[in-house]
Amino acid sequence: MESVLILGNGQAGIALAREIRKLDPRRPITLLGRDAYGFNRSEFVQALGPSQKTLSTEDLLALGEQLRIDMVPNCTAQSIRVADCSVQTDHGEYQADKLVLALGSSPMLPSFARDLPGLVAAVTHASVVNKLRARLASVKDLIIIGAGQSGCELANTLADAGKNVTVIEQHAGPLFELMPLDARRYLVEQLEERGVKFHFNARCASASKEGHRAQLALTNGKHVEGDLVIACIGVVPNTKLASDAGLKVRKGIMVDRKLATSAPDVYALGDCAEINGVWLPYSQAIHHEVSALARVLTGQNVQLNFPPMPLKLNIPCCPTVIAQPRPGLTGQWETLMVEHGLNASFISERGQLSGFVLMGEETAEAPFLQDEIPNWMNL
């Protein structure tokens, strides 16, 4: 029976270990990673809001006993050797018949962060969330860089917590690559009613620290200041270990529909993986990747395919569900404004519903429209 070594004990790595064990109660599994506790990233925004929701955590050593796997927390990988599926760590060397890389991603920080020591943060880990929560109690004015999903969710949450929130976005609107113009305008209106201020088509031209506050001069000629800057400008896949080991890497670690890398018996999934040229750092995608790879590793002949994966945004002032059209698909948006929401459909050149944006009361239509969309991606 072939053993499995999983490097990375974040969401993808833990989920894969669970799924393999569900399919095979006896297969040897080792899970290495830097964390001692598992946590749910979807709880981060709520934890910073007025409810001060406590993050749920999971003791990984206890989980290892429950799943009957060799769990090695607080462990940092130093190098990978693909020839024998081994990993050199600060705890020694580990080796198995199959190696899975679940290396995750790291937050991007704006270049001006070095000019604002102690005033720029990115919400990517439970430890950061806990520190931010304590700090938010003593600050009032917040600057968010980026109006993507996390930026908009955080803006709503912090505004509801009584903070003065300013969002700076380099594009012409929020969630620029996911929604049509009417939907972006509607979302901005709802957030502005909550007191959120926006600067679109703007970047930070210069930054300085005045006392304990950040001063930003923007490319649109405006100046903003705040007690804290929160970066929500995305993440980058953690690929250095893989590239140093000779694996093919582009944006992420390149894998096929079996999640196999360019080296035999080495696989990758989650935020670090690029699947047939497409990078999908979303929880919904990880769920399908875990299901497929667990079956591959337990001897089944399956390939990954993505069904429609609607994204439900945590924006209470403007409930939103987005089913993103397949990248590269040509077509056009058709938008219907209703009294308490918006319904936008992406129609392909063949006349097929291939994506949608639903807002307000229209979000109730998501389960029905989802069934009309073809497989999200033909990889």
Q: Per-residue pLDDT tens for 7-25?
A: 999 999 999 999 999 999 9
Per-residue confidence (pLDDT) for residue 379, from 0 to 100: 38
In percent, the amount of the chain with pLDDT more than 70 equals 99
Q: Per-residue pLDDT tens for 254-281?
A: 999 999 999 999 999 999 999 998 898 8
Per-residue confidence (pLDDT) for residue 377, from 0 to 100: 54
Per-residue confidence (pLDDT) for residue 282, from 0 to 100: 84
Per-residue confidence (pLDDT) for residue 176, from 0 to 100: 93
Structure token pair of residue 271: 């935020």
Domains along the chain with CATH numbers: 4-105+235-297 (3.50.50.60), 109-231 (3.50.50.60), 319-370 (3.30.390.120)
Tokens 């943060």 belong to which residue? 121
Sign of the dihedral through C-alpha 169, 172, 177, 180? positive
- pTM summary value: 0.92
**C-beta of residue 104 within 8 angstroms of C-beta of residue 10:** yes
Q: Does residue 99 have a pLDDT over 50?
A: yes
Q: Per-residue pLDDT tens for 136-160?
A: 888 999 999 999 999 999 999 999 9
Per-residue confidence (pLDDT) for residue 376, from 0 to 100: 58
Distance CA 49, CA 159 (A): 8
Per-residue confidence (pLDDT) for residue 57, from 0 to 100: 81
> Within 13 Å, how many C-alpha atoms sit on residue 108's CB side?
11
Tokens 């703007």 belong to which residue? 202
Closest CA to 340 of 357, 360, 321: 360
- Output 136 or 32, whichever has higher pLDDT: 32
Per-residue confidence (pLDDT) for residue 56, from 0 to 100: 79
